[in-house]
Structure formats: C-alpha cells, structure tokens
Structure 1
Amino acid sequence: MNHTARLLHLDRTLDELDPPHWPPPAPDATALVRRVHELRRVRLGRLGPADLRTLVSQQVALPYVLPLAVRLLLEEPLLDAYFYEGDLLLATAGVPEVTWSLFPDLGVRLRSAIMELPQEALDALPRGAAEELALFAARPE
C-alpha cells in the first residue's frame, strides 16, 4: 500500500489499521504509555502535530503516522509540535532507515526540505540537532 492510500484512511484508527488491537495499558503504566494507547484509538485525521510527534518518537505504527508527519513537515519543517521548534522534524529524522525504505519519495522530499533550511534556523535548534538532520539529509536515496 503506498503512502497516498494510507492517507485515505484518515477516518480510521491505528487499532483498526495496525493490528493487533492494543489492550488497555496496565494500571501502573507511565503517562507516556497511557497516551500512546489513547492515540491508537484516535482517528488518523484527528491526530495533531504533538500526537504525531509522540507516535513517531515511540515508533508506533510508522507506516501510517510517518506520511502524516512528513505532510506537515513539508509545509513547515521547523513546526513546534510540542517541546520546541523542529521537534517533530527531529523525531521524524530519527526514524529507522528501514522504515524510510517504505517511503523513498517522502524521504527525498524531506531531505530536500532539510537542506533548504537556513543556517540560522539550524543553529537555533537544540545541541546536536543540526548534525542529526545533516546525517539524515546525507542518506542515499
């Protein structure tokens, strides 16, 4: 299934699209674990930037959430999803290379967007972020 087809499932949840259905979290689960479980029951079209950042950083259902994240990042690469400008971009750039092989065109487009970022914007990111983005942008297509 290509990423465009995945985007057509915006009215469905990750529990529907990415089996098996997750049971409720354990009573002593962390807030992050509880949040990820909640997000799996939200329709894809209702996931906001912070939700996508959480799911991408936790590597949950990446075949469905990565195209949504990249779609936002192509419009605004340094989007402040929750913590700071560029947090969604850094989480997305940190996705394992094997996942990007499912979306070569998205990877090319995101690498291009990163390479177009002004140096001043990169310098304003947290320590090490510019280097991490440079490594991602330098990956072969």
Structure 2
Amino acid sequence: MDRLLHLDRTLDELDPPRWTAPAVDATHLVRKVHELRCVPLSELRPADLRTLISQRVALPHVLPLAVRLLLEAPLLDAYFYEGDLLLAAVEAPASAWAALPDLAARLRAVITTLPEAAVAELPRGAAEKLTRFVARPGSPG
C-alpha cells in the first residue's frame, strides 16, 4: 500500500484510535503533537515531520513523507539545524524501518553519497548515527 496516496487524510484517520484532547496542563510539545494528528498529511511541513518522528508518532505514515523530502535534500533544515530531519529519521526505531525496507534502502543510498565535509558540520554524534543507520541489518552489502 502506498502511504502517499492518503495525503488528504489526517493521522487521526490513518492511525487509529483517534487521540482524545490533551490535558489542560499538557506541555506545548504534547499539544503540538495532538494538533499535528489533525492536519492532512499534505499540509505537514518538514518541522512537523521532524516533531512527529522524534516523538515516534504514526511512523508508518510520516517516515515516507520525510524520506520523500530527504531524497531531494538530505540535509534539509526542518527547524533547528541542517540535517535535523535526517537525524530524526535515522533515529526512528529499527522496527519502523523494517516495515519500510525500500524506503530505508533509498535513504541509506542517499546517506552514503553525502560529502564528508557536510557530515562533519552536523552536530556531535551525527556521523555515528548515520553510520549506524547505514549498517543496520537489511542494508545492502
């Protein structure tokens, strides 16, 4: 099933059950994630995807959207710094990527083409995270 066919739908529709409203005293992040579940997938911005991936929300639906962007611009600055969406994606659990082997392979291929100098400019530990993702079981060769 191509998850990108459902761009007019929300995560609340695609990833049941619908979430109840956040508590009155919920943090800004909790309220934001709840709000994002009600936004059509086509309207989610890179920063929204980074937030959802970092919070491990509806990964089967948001990882394909992120990869679509990352294939074009792997070091996209979603909100905090260049490469923040990529790093959020590679930190997603291996189990989420196991359900998306073709997308994982495509992202691994892009990562292996990143210039060493660009990777060196990412935050501390980023190169190791990228290396771990590329080396995960299911990786080619």
TM-score range, shorter chain: over 0.9
TM-score under structure 1 length normalisation? 0.96
TM-score under structure 2 length normalisation? 0.96
- The answer for unaligned runs of 5 or more in structure 1 is none
Q: d(CA) in 2 for partners of 1:55 and 1:30?
A: 15
Which residue of 63, 71, 74 corresponds with 2:68? 71
1:42 aligns with 2:39: yes
The one-letter code of the counterpart of 1:140 is P
1:125 aligns with 2:125: no
Q: d(CA) in 2 for partners of 1:91 and 1:30?
A: 21
Instruction: Please name the residue that 1:10 is paired with.
Output: 7
Percent sequence identity is: 69
- The answer for unaligned runs of 5 or more in structure 2 is none
1:87-118 Cα deviation digits (max 9, x unpaired)? 00000000111111111010111001001000
Q: CA RMSD in A?
A: 0.6
Q: d(CA) in 2 for partners of 1:101 and 1:132?
A: 17
1:19-45 Cα deviation digits (max 9, x unpaired)? 111111101100000000000000000
Please state how far the C-alpha of 1:139 moved relative to its aligned partner: 1.5
Instruction: Please name the residue that 1:103 is paired with.
Output: 100
- Following TM superposition, where does structure 1 have runs of at least 4 consecutive aligned residues deviating by more than 3 angstroms? none
1:137 aligns with 2:134: yes
Instruction: Please name the residue that 1:93 is paired with.
Output: 90
Please state how far the C-alpha of 1:79 moved relative to its aligned partner: 0.3
Q: d(CA) in 2 for partners of 1:108 and 1:121?
A: 21
1:56 aligns with 2:48: no
Please state how far the C-alpha of 1:6 moved relative to its aligned partner: 1.1
1:81 aligns with 2:83: no
The one-letter code of the counterpart of 1:57 is S
Q: d(CA) in 2 for partners of 1:101 and 1:63?
A: 10
Q: Secondary structure at the match of 2:76?
A: coil
